[in-house]
């Protein structure tokens, strides 16, 4: 029974993923990356391409969720408050520490984050590739730069990030 289940699972997995489509999208993304750099960087003073990284997937997950990030910031703010009060108002710090104020605040934020983790499922949204190159600044010095080129599922350029 187990080998039959594995065979069925393998066939289902093969049917769900389309390697030809992925290869086609990756090839389109690589072509679009070459075209974009030739069009937008060729006139940059001292531009010399170093190379492109391997194509990588862009997966959105809870770590990209804005509410999760805000909660993470809130946890860090409570930690900063703890250290600030430790130095500026030690009596208040001790009272809050003994009452569990800092830990309770952070635990509340972590509980909200756990809810987001359960709701947000990882999702493939496209590809990215890094392009490293050198340019010459106004003093003549060579600087190494990196751009991240982002593509959708079909290999179309969606954004360039410095």
What tens digit of pLDDT does each residue of 24-53 get? 999 999 999 999 999 999 888 889 999 999
> pTM of the full predicted structure?
0.64
Q: Are 127 and 155 in contact (CB under 8 A)?
A: yes
Name the pLDDT band for 22 (thresholds 50, 70, 90).
confident
**Average pLDDT, stretch 135-143?**
89
Concatenating the DSSP letter of every residue in 95-153 gives: HHHHHTHHHHHHHHHHHHHHHHHHH---EEEEEEEEEEEEEE-TTS-EEEEEEEEEE-T
């Amino acid at each position: 029974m187990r080998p039959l289940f594995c065979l069925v699972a393998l066939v289902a997995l093969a049917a769900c993923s389309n390697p030809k489509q992925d290869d086609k999208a990756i090839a389109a993304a690589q072509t679009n990356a070459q075209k974009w750099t030739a069009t937008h960087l060729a006139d940059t003073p001292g531009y010399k391409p170093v190379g492109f990284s391997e194509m990588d997937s862009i997966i959105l997950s809870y770590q990209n969720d804005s509410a999760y990030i805000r909660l993470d910031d809130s946890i860090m703010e409570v930690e900063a408050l703890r250290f600030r009060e430790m130095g500026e108002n030690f009596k208040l710090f001790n009272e809050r520490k003994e009452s569990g104020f800092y830990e309770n605040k952070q635990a509340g934020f972590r509980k909200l984050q756990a809810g987001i983790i359960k709701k947000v499922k990882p999702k493939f949204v496209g590809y990215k590739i890094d392009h490293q190159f050198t340019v010459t600044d106004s003093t003549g010095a060579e600087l190494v730069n990196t751009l991240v080129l982002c593509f959708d599922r079909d290999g179309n350029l969606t954004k360039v990030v410095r």
